[in-house]
Structure 1
């Protein structure tokens, strides 16, 4: 990615759902990082690093946006909101330059947390703060005391 300023921004869940539909059957993933320019720089292997061991992983750690068949006719907005909400703590944990972006990719393995390790075929879009707020509102509206983000920090 030569100039990620040209990458569009997705501002709401309806727009993200449309992008997911348009990409089918190719997979869309969301990745939390410093962005495509950092992850896809010329000459740099597309890889992530395991936070626990420091081991270099053979692909970019990302999460699929694909809606599973068992979800059936439930609202896609809830599905997508949850996919974003699960990891939004990463921007606080890893610094303000870390933010979510959507990529078209191919899975090449699994990481230590069973997350897909993908090869990015194309950067698709940034995810806006407004979209993250919308996702948080939808998740919180589910009123589940037994569920929250996948944040490993000890409180």
Structure 2
């Protein structure tokens, strides 16, 4: 099965927010996609070269402290925080949503996910929408990669 053609594409922050509201325990992963990740099944710590027990991903579940704030802004921030990976990880890297079982945590405290079930691709337009939503906030913010 070639997941690249078969997965649905989330085309707006609202689509992603609605999915996050409906389906618990979703994660976003920036990679060449489910087909490529299925072959390796585990991420590698870039600093040490140690193979970790799952794929690095970031949770999309809304935290209780977020209260009744807009879910679209929540998912915008979750995407924006790691949007630098699109350029740093090389050609073909893009975000996609998955479900799975957390096997541990990586060096940045990110969940390491096993038994991955691909849910959908995140369109580049959603990343642009996330950037715009973050830029509209009163306080300035940068991606997790904030310089050396």
- The separation in 2 between residues aligned to 1:93 and 1:2, in whole angstroms, is 25
User: 5+ residue gaps in structure 2?
Assistant: none
- Residues paired across the two proteins, number: 148
> Residue in 2 aligned with 1:34?
32
User: Normalising to structure 1: TM-score of the pair?
Assistant: 0.89
- The separation in 2 between residues aligned to 1:18 and 1:7, in whole angstroms, is 17
Q: 2:143 aligns with which of 146, 149, 152?
A: 149
Residue 98, structure 1, aligned to residue 96, structure 2: no
> Residue in 1 aligned with 2:53?
58
The offset of 1:153, in angstroms, is: 5.0
- The separation in 2 between residues aligned to 1:129 and 1:61, in whole angstroms, is 20
- The separation in 1 between residues aligned to 2:147 and 2:65, in whole angstroms, is 31
- The separation in 1 between residues aligned to 2:58 and 2:136, in whole angstroms, is 23
- The separation in 1 between residues aligned to 2:147 and 2:34, in whole angstroms, is 26
Contact 2:3–2:34 (Cα < 8 Å) also in 1: no
**Residues 1-150 of structure 1 mapped to structure 2, 5 A cutoff:** 2-24=2-24, 27-41=25-39, 44=40, 46-145=41-140, 147-150=141-144
Determine helix, strand or coil for the equivalent of 1:107.
strand
Deviations 1:55-95 (A, max 9, x none): 11110000000000111101111110000001111111111
Determine helix, strand or coil for the equivalent of 2:76.
helix
* RMSD, aligned CA: 1.4
The offset of 1:53, in angstroms, is: 1.1
The offset of 1:138, in angstroms, is: 0.3
The offset of 1:128, in angstroms, is: 0.4
Determine helix, strand or coil for the equivalent of 1:74.
coil
User: Normalising to structure 2: TM-score of the pair?
Assistant: 0.93
- The separation in 2 between residues aligned to 1:153 and 1:33, in whole angstroms, is 22
